[in-house]
Amino acid sequence: MTENSEEVLADPVGMIVWLVSNVEKHLDADHVRDIVCNLVRSRAGRRNLAQALHDNPSLLRTGKPPAPFRVAKLLMALREAGARDTALPHCGECGRPRPYVGSRSGGRVVKPACPRCHGVKALSKLLDGQRVCRACFAKHAAVPCARCGAVREPATRDAAGQPLCPNCLIVTRSI
pLDDT value of position 152: 92
pTM of the complete model beyond 0.85: no
- Look at residues 89, 110, 128 and tell me which one is the last residue of a structural domain: 89
153 found inside a domain: yes
Burial of 133 (0-12, 13-18, 19+ CB in 10 A): buried
pLDDT value of position 1: 43
Does residue 20 sit in the same domain as residue 84? yes
Q: Which domain holds residue 162?
A: 142-174
Count of domains for the chain = 2
Does residue 9 sit in the same domain as residue 84? yes
Does residue 85 sit in the same domain as residue 151? no
pLDDT value of position 169: 85
137 found inside a domain: no
22 found inside a domain: yes
- With helix as H, strand as E and coil as C, how does 113-160 read? ECCCCCCECCCCEEECCEEECHHHHHHHHCEECCCCCCEECCCEECCC
- Look at residues 89, 108, 126 and tell me which one is the last residue of a structural domain: 89
Does residue 11 sit in the same domain as residue 77? yes
Average pLDDT per block of 10 residues along the chain, 175 residues long: 70 92 92 93 90 89 78 88 86 64 51 80 84 91 93 91 90 63
Instruction: Answer whether 82's CB lies under 8 Å from 107's CB.
Output: no
pLDDT value of position 173: 63
From CA 9, how far away is CA 134, in angstroms rounded?
44
50 found inside a domain: yes
- Look at residues 47, 73, 89 and tell me which one is the last residue of a structural domain: 89
